[in-house]
Copies of this chain bind each other. A is one copy, B any other.
């Protein structure tokens, strides 16, 4: 059951248009809400004149920031809640605000009977502002003279953390050290999931019922409660099928506002259907990082001491906040261990779109810096890129003191071997030396590691319920969410394996409903297959125990001699089928002496984490006059432990690689420095990588079973994105001799760099 590439369990429904998304289940009588977003980057809304807007036929109600009289500030990050106040996310949002902090902030909303009326009315709102100076870049925002965006955060620093090991200042006094220094920066990118965020809210049965395109229904329930100052049990969140999230939907986006709005119209259904333009500006983006790295090495290549500074641009509100910069910093300390290590990471507010979670959660940014920097080191040392890495990368047996993660196998070298063999990397390193001409080829590589799940930073808990049907099939309820990645298919296989039934007997309930779905925090941190592995195993054990106990009643075969194999109760001594599971389920339910509807429900907590490893190798052809990078070949190799479903794992890697390619070569959300306005808030002007932009994507795996995981799995959702950009950057360097440290490597950047480097 596990390890087979069975087709996705939702494939048929999705290709036949039968799978229900939020837009398919809107109440027939829903009102629509459109949001008026701030037109200025920093300031105060002084007044809103709704007179003209209210005259638009079909307008039901206009709700402004001045209607938010009870100010319940709430956090939006999709983190598991904590009762430790010092670890709680920063509560800095209101459903609507008069204190606007970026172009796109939420000021007012029009509730209308139809889209046309709502759009028209929003345009007719007359908003008077008091404008404040604004700041768009973290390195400027931390200056004392910069405008302060949030009262409680001096110099706009949301948080700063440091990590010290050994004694950097002493260590660098050693004679003969080679010093390598670099600044590396990454752009603002957006998730660009197919389905924009949409949510609908109404009141029913004394609750606010919200259907939402979210990765985190249970967390959204809590946040809506916080945002409205209501008991959390009065909020019910339903998550049907959703069209991707990539972290953007690991935030409470417009569910709190939508819930607030339904209360303004007496509980009538209200729907917020976010446009692509709003998605770019008023949802979440990836944190752009400025990373400053200084490394000191001995002539033999030994890393002696390193200094790291990370400046993460948070945008206007805290969202996931500092955890992304902190995670990025942590990655730097472990990939190439070094005795003396001094790091600091700043998360800085600016008047730009809010940064939140995005696939990789800080690692694509720092891996770009790190693996670019390592390549620069290797070049300066005159070493072989692959060999130097083999010698200095995290060694087998390495254990992180905080996460307790262990590098159990020789995963990096195993990944490198596969990638090298596929791309003929080492041969091409030599082959493409000293090229001239307009088109030059190059190869590049980069490695990475990634955590699985969030323990011990935060809680890892997963609950599961299984319900046995009268035909021996079973429903499975999990708080872990299918968001397009194929989670339900993996769960199906895991459940079949754990219970002892065939795949066709397992029905994972895809849609979460916080009223009845056991609690789990949702889809993020590449956690789901790993953490649900524990709850599925634990719940299956309870279910199996109940089944075997009942089985004994009808077969008189001792429970110790019974097993469930392929939908049958089997006597293990001779593998005889003593009863089918269907017969057992029927006998149990309809037993006039001992009627029992068999089900099981358990919470499992994970107190472990696991390193996920991998690398990306690429070959590029650079057109020097056109300043264009063409990707010729690319391979990702991952050790994410045992694969539950190889075909789905491969597809997940493909998607992550594509996202990495966009991050490397083209994607860049541009902000007008004079106004703070996003300039390319649409898929025409924002250059999302598509399959036209990349060659066939090769994904391979090293399956080192993770010993802390019941299924041997570890994180794969986010890892594929992490190593792609530095591999491409290093290939461009290899092809042209030009090191470009500022993503994306688009023609504008290449033109500047090639001019400076004398290539053109």
Contacts and interface: CB of A to CB of B under 8 A. Distances in A.
Contact of A473 (B28, B231, B266, B471): B231
Contacts of A477: 516
A16 B592 CA distance: 43
Interface string A471-506: 111110100000000000000000000000000110
Interface of A: 9-10, 12-13, 16, 18-20, 24, 27-28, 80-83, 202-207, 222, 225, 231-234, 266-267, 459, 461, 463, 465, 467, 469-475, 477, 504-505, 507, 509-510, 515-516, 518-519, 582, 586-587, 589-592, 594-597, 599, 601, 603, 605
A654 to B, nearest CB: 25
7 contacts: A20-B204, A24-B27, A80-B590, A81-B586, A206-B507, A232-B471, A461-B595
A475 to B, nearest CB: 5
Nearest to A455: B592
Given A18-B204, A19-B204, 20 more contacts: A9-B205, A9-B206, A10-B205, A13-B204, A16-B267, A24-B28, A80-B590, A82-B590, A83-B586, A231-B469, A231-B471, A233-B470, A459-B592, A461-B595, A463-B599, A465-B599, A467-B516, A467-B518, A475-B516, A595-B603
A509 B516 contact: yes
Nearest to A266: B16
Contacts of A204: 13, 18-20
A222 B474 CA distance: 15
A203 B9 contact: no
Nearest to A458: B592
Nearest to A517: B516
A596 B603 contact: yes
A87 to B, nearest CB: 10
B81 A233 contact: no
Given A471-B233, A516-B509, A589-B519, A459 B595 contact: yes
Most buried by B among A12, A19, A592, A596: A592
A204 B10 CA distance: 9
A233 to B, nearest CB: 3
Nearest to A20: B204
Nearest to A601: B599
Contacts of A222: 470
Contacts of A519: 589, 597
A276 to B, nearest CB: 23
A79 to B, nearest CB: 11
A-B CB proximity, top 4 nearest: A233-B473, A233-B469, A231-B471, A519-B597
Nearest to A222: B470
A231 B459 CA distance: 40
Contacts of A13: 204-205
A266 B16 CA distance: 10
Nearest to A475: B515
B83 A470 contact: no
Contacts of A471: 225, 231-234
B232 A470 contact: yes
Contacts of A27: 24
A436 to B, nearest CB: 60
B518 A507 contact: no
B459 A590 contact: yes
A597 B207 contact: no
Contacts of A205: 9-10, 13, 507, 510
Contacts of A225: 471
A11 B317 CA distance: 42
A175 to B, nearest CB: 48
A256 B210 CA distance: 32
A645 to B, nearest CB: 17
Contacts of A474: 233
A163 B745 CA distance: 93
Contact of A597 (B12, B504, B592, B603): B603
Contacts of A594: 605
Contacts of A507: 205-207, 233, 515
A228 B56 CA distance: 53
Nearest to A12: B206
A601 to B, nearest CB: 6
Contacts of A582: 231
Contacts of A590: 80-83, 459
Nearest to A87: B592
Nearest to A474: B233
Most buried by B among A19, A504, A590: A590
A461 B601 contact: no
Contacts of A472: 233
Nearest to A596: B603
Contacts of A10: 205
A2 to B, nearest CB: 20
A587 B83 contact: yes
Contacts of A504: 206
A519 B591 CA distance: 13
Contacts of A12: 206
A18 to B, nearest CB: 6
Nearest to A473: B233
Contact of A267 (B18, B24, B232, B599): B18
Contact of A505 (B233, B467, B589, B603): B233
Contacts of A80: 590
B463 A515 contact: no
B509 A599 contact: no
Contacts of A18: 202-204, 267
A110 to B, nearest CB: 23
A266 to B, nearest CB: 8
A587 B591 CA distance: 39
A540 to B, nearest CB: 16
Contacts of A234: 471, 473
A758 B267 CA distance: 65
Contacts of A589: 461, 519
Contacts of A473: 231, 233-234
A692 B524 CA distance: 62
A605 to B, nearest CB: 4
Contacts of A20: 204
A509 B518 contact: no
A207 B469 CA distance: 13
A308 to B, nearest CB: 29
A718 B27 CA distance: 35
A473 B206 CA distance: 12
